[in-house]
Chains A and B, each alone.
Chain A
Amino acid sequence: DQQVKQNSPSLSVQEGRISILNCDYTNSMFDYFLWYKKYPAEGPTFLISISSIKDKNEDGRFTVFLNKSAKHLSLHIVPSQPGDSAVYFCAASARGTYKYIFGTGTRLKVLA
């Protein structure tokens, strides 16, 4: 049972436009969510996070939105840059644990 789902395996966006990556979860106990970026043959790097007490968190070009009622979160990147091309994973955890459940990832390609 996939508790964290990223239904779009890939996404292509023109440079300068907005990239929107989506993530859905099923476990209502999850209260912390993160987005990681991963280049081939490298470990994931932390991008941005959001706690369930918030519905939005912004850091520069990256904004994460959380809709608890829909159990849905999204990552917005604007403006998108070619260097943003990577695989993006969302991850979720329940309170008091470091254990994260990862989605299957979305490969973002930003076209110059």
Chain B
Amino acid sequence: GAVVSQHPSRVICKSGTSVKIECRSLDFQATTMFWYRQFPKKSLMLMATSNEGSKATYEQGVEKDKFLINHASLTLSTLTVTSAHPEDSSFYICSAPGDQTYEQYFGPGTRLTVT
């Protein structure tokens, strides 16, 4: 099946710094990608929809200036957590839709820890 990769898988950063997370579709093109966040023992929460060649669409309550999304090509979307704070520590997961209506392929996730 289709593969989505994320890099890095784990990152620790200091409070106030910015962190970039990459999401790549390895063997297919994705004009749309999704970014999710998962808190411990909580649901996956959709943060934003990344659109190739246009601005990302953010869900209600998600700060677009804090979580910068860039969909630079048909195989790459990046999420930059700017001026990170400890409360931004979380598991961030991206996904890309497949050919079928219901298909969505998830990346392995990135564990962000802000100290």
Contact = CB atoms under 8 A, between A and B. Distances in A.
State the main secondary structure of chain B at its contact with A.
strand
Contacts of A104: 41-43
Given A44-B93, A99-B34, A9 B41 contact: yes
Interface residues of B, number: 27
Nearest to B105: A46
Nearest to B91: A41
A57 to B, nearest CB: 11
Contacts of A36: 106
B49 A43 contact: no
Contacts of B36: 102
Contacts of A105: 41, 43
Interface of B: 4, 6, 9, 32, 34, 36, 41-46, 49, 91, 93, 95, 97, 101-109, 111
